[in-house]
Structures are given as structure tokens and as C-alpha cells.
Amino acid sequence: MLRTDRIHYETFQYNIGKAKALITIQDTLDKLVEGKFNFSQIFEKLGKDILQETEGKIQINEELTKRMEERIKDKQKEIKESIKSLENIFESLQTVYERPLYQEAVVIIVGSFETYLKDTVVTLVAKNKSVEDKFYKELKDSLNYSKLRESGYDWENLLGHLVAEKFNFYDTQQINELYSRILKIDNIFKNKSVKKRIQNFIKLRHLIVHKSGIVDKKFKNETQTKVPLDVPYPVEKKYVLDMIRSISKVVEDIEKNIREKEFSKKEKGVGVEQTK
């Protein structure tokens, strides 16, 4: 097993949980705005259920029954007005911001993926001599006293950061080259289709951050999307959840490969296998 730090995977999972929460909230708001939650009927039924439940079980006269019915109707009216106000607020938010929570989920997912990949590489290089040796050329040309001093003389982490800064963790080709080199596997994405889908998802993140999700010529050319220019790219619940599954699978496979790799002879018996 290569030595790593479990916190990187746990942080990734934590942030994916936040993205899923945003998706759930947005989905609930969508249903509310579309009228799929009929609160009026719910409260009308509640009032009737109360009367049916009490009928025959307590002695009430006709006048008291009438007052109770009027009271329930008044409350129903108040609740309807409150719910209508909330619906108007949610509808306005939906119109103005154009499904922002799905977009925000995309940004969180891609950011979590990029951070996990980078932090894991830093730790793998810092804690495993066999991994460090794979980047001899990059490190030989990068080491200098000023960088060592800036790192607070944290030699091991400096080596990891020097390797990480050589790669673009938003580029699936570079990600694959880096992790294939470390883990000795052909393709961490398993196939070209998954790799392309994740790359396009990363490009969508850039479009959201830099262009408010409005399709431009660069995005259209790079992703071959059929969405017209100058309109918001439709970010739907199913698509985002599918990408969470795809990206999570890549991360889980990386973790599995890290656990299965053996120490080099120089490292056997040295230190702990994982830092918690």
C-alpha cells in the first residue's frame, strides 16, 4: 500500500455531499414553483381530517362546530396567503437566477475533484520514495533554496507541490498521464467516453464561472454541444447526478489502486501506511 492521507478522500466526499444537498434543494424549489406541491389541498384535507377524527368522540354542540369550521377556514386562508407569497419569492428567484443551485453544484463537484487529485499527488510524492523517484527529472530542474525556504523547510511537502505544479488538474489528459505514471495503470478513466464526459463537465464549470453559463463559441467548439450560442447551457438534475457518479467512481478507483500498490524495498517497514 502506498502511504497517503485519508483526509483527501473524506474531504472530497464531504464536498460531494454539499453538492447533492444543493441538487435536492433546487429540485424541491422546482417542484414548488411548478405547483407539484399543492399546499392548499394539503391543509384543506388536514382540516377535514381533524373534524372527522373528533366526530363522535367528543360532545360538541352545533354552535361550537360552526365556530371550529370558521376558525379552520380562517387559518386555511392565512396559510394559503403565506404559501402564495413563498411561491412568488421562489418563482422570482428561479426566473432571475436561472437554476443557480444546479450550476453551483457543478462548480463544487469539479472543484472537489481538482482539489482531491492535487492534494493526493502532493501526499503521494511526499510520503513515498518510490513515487518521488518517478519525478526525478521534474524535481531536479525545480529545486532551489528560495523555494525550500518559502516552504518553511518542509522538504517532503515541497517535493509534492513541485510535482503538482507541473500538471493542470482541469485537463483530463494530464490527469491521466500523471496518475497512470504513479499507479502504473493505462487509463484511470477506464475509457475514452468517460474521460470526454468528465472533460466536458470541467469545461461546463469554466463556462459557469467565467460566462455565467452562457454558451460561447469556444465552449461550443470544444464540447460539440447542440445548444445554440448566447443562451444558458441547460444544467439538469439527472446530468449532474450522473456526473457525480462518474467522477466519484474515478476517485474510488484511484483510492483502490493506492491501497493495492506495494511499497518499494526502500520503504517497507517505514512509518505508517495511512495518516488519519
State the pLDDT at residue 60: 52
Question: Are residues 135 and 86 part of one domain?
Answer: no
| 36, 47, 126, 128, 254 from 28: Cα distances, Å | 9, 25, 44, 46, 34
Q: How do the pLDDT tens digits run along the chain, 276 residues long?
A: 778 888 999 999 999 999 999 998 888 777 766 666 555 555 555 555 555 555 554 455 566 566 666 666 666 666 666 666 666 666 665 554 456 789 999 999 999 999 999 999 999 988 888 888 888 887 777 766 466 556 555 666 788 888 888 999 999 999 999 999 999 888 999 999 999 999 999 999 999 999 999 999 999 999 999 999 999 999 999 999 999 999 999 999 999 998 887 544 444 444 334 444
The whole domain housing 255 covers 4-34+98-264
Question: Are residues 180 and 142 part of one domain?
Answer: yes
Bridge partners of residue 41, in order along the sequence: none
State the pLDDT at residue 265: 45
State the pLDDT at residue 259: 87
State the pLDDT at residue 160: 84
Is 209 inside a domain boundary?
yes
Is 276 inside a domain boundary?
no
Rounded Cα distance between 68 and 63, Å, is 9
Picking from 70, 97, 124, the residue at the C-terminal end of a domain is 97
Is 91 inside a domain boundary?
yes
State the pLDDT at residue 109: 97
Is 275 inside a domain boundary?
no
Picking from 76, 97, 118, the residue at the C-terminal end of a domain is 97
Question: Are residues 213 and 134 part of one domain?
Answer: yes
Question: Are residues 43 and 127 part of one domain?
Answer: no
Question: Are residues 82 and 13 part of one domain?
Answer: no
Cα-Cα end-to-end distance for the chain: 15
Is 167 inside a domain boundary?
yes
Are 113 and 175 in contact by the 8 Å Cβ rule? The answer is: no
Question: Are residues 138 and 11 part of one domain?
Answer: yes
Rounded Cα distance between 3 and 129, Å, is 10
Number of domains in the chain: 2
Is 270 inside a domain boundary?
no
State the pLDDT at residue 148: 57
State the pLDDT at residue 270: 40
Picking from 97, 119, 141, the residue at the C-terminal end of a domain is 97
Question: Are residues 153 and 51 part of one domain?
Answer: no
Is 231 inside a domain boundary?
yes
Are 110 and 206 in contact by the 8 Å Cβ rule? The answer is: no
Is 271 inside a domain boundary?
no
State the pLDDT at residue 142: 72
Question: Are residues 205 and 90 part of one domain?
Answer: no
State the pLDDT at residue 3: 83
